[in-house]
Chains A and B, each alone.
Chain A
Amino acid sequence: MKPDAEFFPRDPADHPPASSPVYKSSVLRSPRFPLLSLQNSLSEVTGPVFGAGELGPLDHDLILNYVQTGEPIGERIIVHGRLMDGEGRGLGGMLVELWQANAGGRYRHALDTYLAPIDPNFGGCGRTITDAEGYYSFRTIKPGPYPFRNRVNDWRPAHIHFSLFGSGFAQRLITQMYFEGDPLIAHDAIIATMPDPALRERLIAKLDLKASVPLDTLAYRFDMVLRGRRQTRFENKLQGS
């Protein structure tokens, strides 16, 4: 697979529409004009490259990476999985970043005023680089649900935000991971931006007992897929001017 091969075009059916009135904030923040579709140039098939040396040794361990007086309070979990392209190939060497609320649903953010308290030992962010086969893993505390201003009694299900880089800037993606069995999933306005149940299913991490650490930490499995590259056996339109 050539590193400058073009990406499969993005399929709008894989994503929520830009404007989804059930999620009120999207109404005024969505373009009215259609997107201009481009064939990939070098500007899209290239993107930032990150090295493991840019990260600290505890960056992927949210149980330890903000310890002040002791470990954070909450359900100890491992979140792990594989980052792949559309043909199931592991994407190695990619930066995966995540952020989340603490066990009580409170974010460590200047603008979060929810009355649930901050945990002094929990920061709520982490990052790692996928291994050669595309696998990643984090250790963290399971986040709590929290209320947000949409309809007056809207609550987010427990979730972890993920930010993904592929090898090209066109693969850039942000998403959210939910937890298997959470009854709030059926009521959430942001999940409701995806009317297709198949899309929702792709964002629900599964309990993974075999990956848990006995007497220590439960585990959830969450695989993610970025756009694949089109084969270029007979042409290579990108290069040469």
Chain B
Amino acid sequence: MDYLPETPSQTAGPYVHIGLIPRQAGFEIFANNLGERMVSDATRGERIRIEGRIFDGAGSIVRDALMEIWQADAHGRHNHPADTQDGTAPDAAFHGWGRTGTDFATGIWAFDTIKPGAVTGRSGHARMAPHVSLWIVARGINLGLSTRMYFGDEEAANAADPVLKLIDPARRNTLIAPRGLREGAVVYGFDIRLQGEGETVFLDI
């Protein structure tokens, strides 16, 4: 049986912002900048900020990366036709996808979003603990890196999560972000280490 092979990946390069975040590259061109804003007044759920930095194998901050997240709504439903979980319809005011770039000066990235609900797991498995899927591209990254961020205040759900349970306990905490407060706002800090000590667990999905 002949199948067409997947198109090979290539690095997004240092100027990925031109195509995907032109405003960060330094110019305005599109009326609608996709993935820039995840939450509106009508979105249901707890408002949170997810933020962190990315480090390379020498411990240097990566300042030219682009990241996207994909997540369920506050009730664990994805805004996508393949999500046929029982219960309420997905939140029409929550797209579930966001895109941002690391700051050129500080390397800090952030998403203002909502905390997702738990999502149905594969058949025979427990519900997955609340999580967001992350995808990272940059100069020097030949194939986009996938990972997940879990929430530090979901200890019981994390302990039962079918994906976290696959990971050596010594590395599991690289995917769990502690909950914090800054000026009354909820912030989950999630640093990503591409290589070496404390290396983040990356997924082949």
Binding site for B on A (CB under 8 A): 2-4, 8-11, 14-18, 20, 23, 25-33, 35-50, 54-56, 59, 65-66, 84-88, 95, 97-100, 107-112, 123-127, 161, 163-164, 167-170, 172-176, 190, 193-194, 199, 202-203, 224-228, 236-241
Contact = CB atoms under 8 A, between A and B. Distances in A.
User: How many interface residues does chain B have, given as a range?
Assistant: 35 or more
25 contacts: A4-B82, A11-B6, A14-B8, A15-B142, A16-B9, A33-B201, A35-B203, A41-B128, A43-B131, A46-B82, A47-B97, A48-B80, A49-B80, A66-B29, A84-B4, A99-B19, A108-B26, A110-B26, A125-B19, A169-B133, A170-B205, A172-B68, A194-B8, A203-B7, A225-B4
B189 interface: no
Contacts of A25: 11, 139-140
A176 B10 contact: yes
A71 to B, nearest CB: 15
A97 B20 contact: yes
A100 B13 CA distance: 11
Contacts of B124: 237
Contacts of A112: 15
Given A35-B204, A45-B82, A97-B20, 4 more contacts: A15-B9, A42-B120, A107-B25, A168-B82
A48 B96 contact: yes
Interface of B: 3-20, 22, 25-27, 29-32, 34-35, 56-58, 60, 62, 64, 68, 70, 72, 78-85, 95-97, 104, 119-128, 131, 133, 135, 137-146, 148, 163, 166-167, 171, 194-196, 199-205
Contacts, number: 282
B74 to A, nearest CB: 16
